[in-house]
A and B are shown apart, each in its own frame.
Chain A
């Protein structure tokens, strides 16, 4: 999907205004004629305003019988798509990953950006009738800090203290300055629950729906919360989510009319759906990317910059996008910032596949051994294929590569973070700084490649503390350029996520963090008559 189609989809869903649509389209180089075509098509779609009522049936992949409604345990699409219907965050991500008010109505940083004040919405009630207050917010955030099983524990370790500073105000102090801290609070685990909640088998949130049925790995069923506080969303009477992990079964369910919308469309059949009347394919260029870590410890082979460069030039990124992603993706620049991010370095040149250059750097490195790539389909579907592809690519440059297929079981505990050269993936993060921080920051627990470069660390710290968006952008540009040449990892490609729906669903727009409109389709989408 072109950038303009993407903007049109956002406009139709009411996410951006007409002025913004035309302004951004013109900025992308649309001619006056093209703009008039855009105006005409948008007029034809003018009737697409949200409609109240109806039941949306979803077929979602990425669920397991071991799921639960405890937000701390969510780790895949069913957990979030189901969970977001019942629970709400303080801050949510809007178009372009901008932080938008959720249960926090407004916020500001104290000078120095180590203290942030959040003013909460007033008069919001939980499903059980209790009013949402600062106590609930403090409790809910603390669920993901300290001794916790939460997946948000890593990013929340930046928080020093959370204090109630009024009935509807909390103040969060940080260990180090962070100019984009609100983005940390958009972490999908961090949802507001009543103070003292320990039992999530009977979930109570402030969301647009209440739980009408929940069978882990089978079904999530919700009906409208009559007291929902927001008027600009929560259009459906009910939703019925069926967990369908098999991609063919998911597609069959959509085609036979048993569900209205599905996620994770197989790239191989995406073009067929696009061409089929009555169905729509939603392509979201997102932050999900493949990674090959090149562990850069002292004395390890990847400490050798020329060996890293040999691999960077030796692999064929275009081929990854073409063969493994069916064309629904884009090549990576060996930095983890996706194209859709406002801070993406547009001046950077792609790293072209160049066996001669790779040969040159390999010779210069003096490396004569074999590189073993450890890979498993536990990381992502096609991880082993990608490693095999690189094996062939690098052989042309004269670098010997072994592909070691690791068992899926125990991959995350025994191979990832431990092997020297491991294929894995990263899902996108809300902000560029956050992404650099969790994956490549010094001392970050998930810095797979043990990447360390004082210059990079300095840039990262400067970006983190910077409150001015323009200055931050130029720092991040520099960091990306540095990584592209130096980082101890290959980031060959970014994958688009693919959703599909039939003609009855409205409001399913591309989003960059996760599928189904950042998992909020039940809340923000609607059913046409």
Chain B
């Protein structure tokens, strides 16, 4: 078990390294560079050259890459090319914001999705099952910015229940934070719940076809007891991996929601940095996103193993 985890971690580290090379190569391929991106139509050949020299962009790409990756390994993510702030300082508050929103959305959506999924399995083909399937499919099919705008229109502008602007500041208390991020959280919940709920329902129903479930019914157990106690534990592995995927999405894939609610998360930072070719920031974001994906998948694997007694016990 421990060996398995170590092996996975080692593979993960290699994946991160490979991802960093890809991101670097990708930004190098983009036309234009930071100097022209910043100066736009006030660029002259002279001030572009001067800005390049100041930013160290006049050195060859492999040299810049090697320097960056060796520093990053020591925890130094470098200095943002465009505004001279240390990248780590720039990232930290946004990373906290992203994690906060993801955690808030996960705390609501995961229990909700599993509960809805189990109920749908228990009352299979009932009106409830159909309704919950239809509604969640609807919310996942509508683009997330539209969901966001609809929520803002009614819950914020029309009825004034929640703020439309999630402009959290360091001085906010936890309660203020929860209030400010309520609408983005709700948007994300509506987007991710369908996937997890349907997976819960499908994998539970899949197990329900097994002979041992029939045995349980023959023993005279109620359907809800069979589903929750007998089928659900065996259906956990696929549910866990879908949850992990959705958690990763909540952290790295929510740039549209961030834009709609003006939430200072990592996504917006990455988009801006790519537009301005701010390589240290792009790479730091890429690295963090890669780590999040790999760690969550690793966690999902371990949880799946723990949920399965056959894998849990070393032979």
Residues of chain A whose beta carbon lies under 8 Å from any beta carbon of chain B: 59, 64-68, 70, 73, 75, 147-154, 200-201, 213, 215-219, 242-246, 248-249, 252-253, 255-259, 407, 409-414, 416, 424, 426, 445-446
Contacts and interface: CB of A to CB of B under 8 A. Distances in A.
B33 to A, nearest CB: 7
Contact of B44 (A248, A410, A426, A445): A445
Contacts of A411: 32
Given A217-B268, A409-B275, A249 B31 contact: no
A interface: dominant SS = loop
B231 to A, nearest CB: 44
Interface stretch (B163-171, B195-203, B305-313): B163-171
A210 B173 CA distance: 25
The 5 closest A-B pairs by CB, nearest first: A410-B31, A410-B32, A66-B82, A413-B36, A68-B83
Of A151, A219, A252, A410, chain B has the most CB atoms within 10 Å of the CB of A252
A200 B84 CA distance: 9
Interface in B24-73: 30-33, 35-47, 50-51, 54
Contacts of A243: 262
Interface in B127-145: none
Nearest to A75: B40
A511 B82 CA distance: 30
Contacts of B54: 149
Contacts of B84: 68, 200-201
Contacts of B100: none
A255 B36 contact: no
A410 B38 CA distance: 11
B273 A65 contact: yes
A333 B31 CA distance: 34
A143 to B, nearest CB: 12
A219 B259 contact: no
A149 B49 CA distance: 8
Of B43, B82, B259, B260, chain A has the most CB atoms within 10 Å of the CB of B43
10 contacts: A66-B80, A66-B82, A67-B82, A75-B40, A152-B42, A200-B84, A249-B165, A249-B261, A410-B32, A410-B36
B93 interface: yes
Nearest to B32: A410
Given A67-B83, A68-B83, A246-B262, A409 B31 contact: yes
Interface residues of B, number: 51
Of B38, B268, B273, chain A has the most CB atoms within 10 Å of the CB of B38
Given A65-B268, A152-B42, 13 more contacts: A65-B269, A66-B80, A73-B83, A75-B42, A151-B47, A154-B44, A244-B165, A252-B152, A256-B160, A258-B163, A258-B165, A411-B32, A412-B43
Contacts of B268: 65, 217
B276 interface: yes
A442 B203 CA distance: 73
Contacts of A409: 30-32, 275
A249 B167 CA distance: 12
B274 to A, nearest CB: 8
B45 A216 contact: no
A242 B262 contact: yes
A384 to B, nearest CB: 18
B273 A66 contact: yes
A149 B169 CA distance: 32
A192 to B, nearest CB: 20
A252 B47 contact: no
A206 B271 CA distance: 34
Contacts of B47: 148-151, 153
Given A59-B165, A248-B260, A73 B157 contact: no
Contact of A66 (B36, B83, B152, B163): B83
Of B45, B51, B167, B169, chain A has the most CB atoms within 10 Å of the CB of B167
A215 B38 contact: no
Given A249-B262, A412-B32, A66 B165 contact: no
A318 to B, nearest CB: 27
Contacts of B39: 75, 149, 151, 412
Nearest to A59: B165
Nearest to A66: B82
Given A149-B51, A215-B264, A258-B163, A245 B259 contact: yes
A414 to B, nearest CB: 5
A217 B32 CA distance: 22
B149 interface: yes
Nearest to A415: B31
A413 B43 CA distance: 9
Contacts of B35: 149
A255 B164 CA distance: 9
B156 interface: yes
B272 A217 contact: yes
Interface string B67-93: 000000000000010111100001001
Contacts of A200: 84
B189 to A, nearest CB: 20
A414 B31 contact: yes
Contacts of A64: 272, 275-276
A252 B165 CA distance: 8
Contacts of B276: 64, 66
Contacts of A67: 82-83
A508 B261 CA distance: 26
A219 B156 CA distance: 22
A407 B32 CA distance: 11
B259 A413 contact: no
A128 to B, nearest CB: 20
A414 B40 CA distance: 11
A184 B169 CA distance: 38
B165 A445 contact: no
Contacts of A249: 152, 164-165, 259-262
Given A66-B272, A409-B32, A412-B37, A256 B44 contact: no
Interface string B95-124: 000000000000000000000000000000
Given A66-B273, A73-B38, A259 B165 contact: yes
Contacts of B51: 149
Nearest to B86: A201
Contacts of A258: 163-165, 167
A246 B259 CA distance: 6
Contacts of B40: 75, 412
Contacts of B275: 64, 409
A148 to B, nearest CB: 6
A201 B83 CA distance: 9
A140 B260 CA distance: 39
A151 B44 CA distance: 9
